[in-house]
Amino acid sequence: MSKMLYMSAMAQAVQEEMEADKNIVYMGEDIGKFGGTFFKNGLFPIYGKERVIEMPIAENLIVAAALGMATAGMRPICELMYADFISLAFDPICNEAPKIRFQSAGKASAPMTLISFQGTIDGSGSVHSQCVEAWIANVPGLKLVVPSIASDAKGLLKTAIRDNDPVVYLTHKSVMYINGDVPDGEYTIPFGKARVAREGRDVTIVAWQRCYMVAMEAAQELEEEFGISVEVIDPRTLIPLDKATILESVKKTGRFLVVHDAPKKYGVGGEIASMVAEEAYHDLKSAPLRLGAPSIPIPFFKLEEQVIVSKQQIKEAVKKLVNE
């Protein structure tokens, strides 16, 4: 076990996998001498330009070329500097990659990992700050990973790289530079296994990444200030989603809140809350709640803080659930 940044845990995962499999290459923007914009992966000095492929700033090409390599028998990892830019690669990742297996009636596959960096960190404005899970989550054939802490960042990335489906690994700029304890060497986490980060009796919160951090703080304060016991579940992967862990928790607490950075309307929180409403109706003491951003673009600089979900909002939502 070593203490390291989330980002470094990712780098360790990629390095270990590249060491083990020559057919893995890492491709993306500004990943040569510069070493990566958000994710300093440390790969270029080790593997050089043969396997660390610095790409033209052409997102469609980056993801589509990775798909071509994957169908040819390689196992590429491609990176887009901002998750917002997935829009430029929407065709390969949403229209093409997830259909290879289906259209071959299960015979072919596209084992590729798309890494990108979502969310707010420094007030970068409307096209460099969004959380885009919902853009991806409605596409059959893709897997969607959203690690919140350093050890998960490593374990899930290794699983993503080894997975035989196209995997979208969305990290969040607000959690990438936080330290955590990370197991050394071989360490994988299966997809579809949520992590109960804090046990509680009164309310279940599902949250990931920045909202997970905020939810953990809110839970601590709710306990201290009001004696409300909150269970916080980090789903770790949205596709597949660990329904069982969430439902088991709701069975115990009878109250449910899902929190994310993306707009509340048509966000993935709606799917998770509906799932709870459909499958745990009789366990619920109050209607499931969702928190997310209002349906406006993320404003520039400090104003962003007023758009994304705050600790106060979470505390109020929990109190509302308990008082109903």
Q: Which residues are catalytic?
A: 128
Q: Is the link from the previous residue into 240 a cis peptide, with omega within 30 of 0?
A: yes
102 lines the binding site for other proteins (CB under 8 A)? yes
Binding mask 202-241 for other proteins (x = CB under 8 A): --------------------------------------x-
Binding mask 23-42 for other proteins (x = CB under 8 A): x-x-----------------
Region of 13-21, 30-38, 58-66, 289-297 interacting with other proteins (CB under 8 A): 58-66
- Report H helices in 185-260: 210-226, 243-253
277 lines the binding site for other proteins (CB under 8 A)? no
95 lines the binding site for other proteins (CB under 8 A)? yes
In the region spanning residues 170 to 189, those forming contacts with other proteins, defined by CB under 8 A, are: none
137 lines the binding site for other proteins (CB under 8 A)? no
The helix or strand, by DSSP H or E, that contains position 135, with its residue range, turns out to be helix 133-137
Among 72, 127, 287, 303, binds other proteins (CB under 8 A): 72
Bridge partners for 26 per DSSP: 52, 77
How many Å apart are CA 151 and CA 6, to the nearest integer?
A: 7
17 lines the binding site for other proteins (CB under 8 A)? no
First-to-last CA distance in the chain? 44
Distances (CA, A) of 45 to 32, 48, 50, 251: 9, 6, 11, 51
Residue 79 burial class via C-beta count within 10 angstroms: exposed 0-12, middle 13-18, buried 19 and up: buried
278 lines the binding site for other proteins (CB under 8 A)? no
Ordered strands of the 237-239 beta sheet: 52-54, 26-28, 77-80, 113-118, 167-172, 143-145, 237-239
Which one-letter amino acid corresponds to residue 26? Y
Nearest approach, Cβ of 215 to other proteins (angstroms)?
Answer: 25
How many Å apart are CA 181 and CA 272, to the nearest integer?
A: 29
Closest CA to 79 of 129, 36, 42, 109: 36
109 lines the binding site for other proteins (CB under 8 A)? yes
Cβ partners under 8 Å of residue 279, min gap 6: 243, 247
Cα 22 to the center of its chain, rounded Å? 26
Region of 90-98, 147-155, 175-183, 246-254 interacting with other proteins (CB under 8 A): 90-98
Answer whether 201's CB lies under 8 Å from 28's CB.
no
Nearest approach, Cβ of 307 to other proteins (angstroms)?
Answer: 32
Nearest approach, Cβ of 26 to other proteins (angstroms)?
Answer: 13
Region of 1-9, 34-42, 50-58, 193-201 interacting with other proteins (CB under 8 A): 50-58
Among 2, 34, 46, 104, binds other proteins (CB under 8 A): 104
Site size toward other proteins (CB under 8 A) is 46
Coil vs helix vs strand at 291? strand
Among 1, 33, 45, 107, binds other proteins (CB under 8 A): 107
How many Å apart are CA 110 and CA 98, to the nearest integer?
A: 8
Among 16, 17, 29, 96, binds other proteins (CB under 8 A): 96
74 lines the binding site for other proteins (CB under 8 A)? yes
Region of 87-95, 176-184, 260-268, 314-322 interacting with other proteins (CB under 8 A): 87-95
165 lines the binding site for other proteins (CB under 8 A)? yes
Query: 166: which 2 tokens?
Result: 């196209």
Answer whether 286's CB lies under 8 Å from 268's CB.
no
Q: Where on the chain is the footprint of other proteins (CB under 8 A)?
A: 23, 25, 55-56, 58, 60-61, 64-74, 76, 91-92, 95-96, 98-109, 111, 140-141, 143, 163-165, 191-192, 240, 243
